[in-house]
Amino acid sequence: MILNSNQIQEIIPHRYPFLMIDRVLELEPGKRAVAIKNVSSGDGFFHGHFPQEHIMPGVLIIEALAQTGAVIILSLEENKGNIAYFAGIDKCKFRRKVIPGDTLRLEVIVTKTRSTVGVANVKATVDGEVACEAVLKFAIQR
């Protein structure tokens, strides 16, 4: 299942300038997804991070991965209309810079769910190189 930005916004509440995913390339509701973020020099955060060398903040890479995870969970029929909250992060590693012109590939696999909480393995890559990997935890508000 492929989703464009309008369809993504039907699932998660994020909006410009904080919507961090442009397209979902693959989606298995409740299980996994692959999304992309086209990184542009026009992204507002580059004005201050860093003016002399534009680097996408690591926290925003994590946010893009978390939003991809939210699409996975909130696309399930029983979770539609709810909000998924970022609840924790483990084993986070940043391995390369993400700069304007990069296409950030966001891969999320939900590994555990129990009631309204869950865990996902996440990885962000650029041209096949790992930029970030982590284990994210989430909670669903019903």
Cα separation of 2 and 52, whole Å?
36
Tell how strand 32-38 and strand 23-28 pair up: antiparallel
**DSSP conformation class of 42:** T
Residue 16 vs residue 98, higher pLDDT: 98
Q: Which residue type occupies 83?
A: I
* Domain count along the chain: 1
Domain extent, residue 109, equals 5-141
This prediction has a pTM of 0.97
User: Burial, 48: exposed, middle or buried (Cβ in 10 Å; 0-12, 13-18, 19+)?
Assistant: exposed
> Token pair for residue 128?
């096949």
Q: Which CATH number fits the domain that encloses residue 119?
A: 3.10.129.10
Cα separation of 133 and 142, whole Å?
28
Averaged over 1-27, what is the pLDDT? Answer: 96
Averaged over 99-112, what is the pLDDT? Answer: 98
Determine the pLDDT at residue 74: 96
Residue 47 known to be catalytic: no
Residue 142 pLDDT more than 90? Answer: no
Averaged over 80-90, what is the pLDDT? Answer: 95
Residue 88 pLDDT more than 90? Answer: yes
Cα separation of 61 and 117, whole Å?
22
Residue in 14, 47, 49, 54 annotated catalytic: 49
Report pLDDT digits (tens) over 21-68: 999 999 999 999 999 999 999 998 988 888 889 999 999 999 999 999
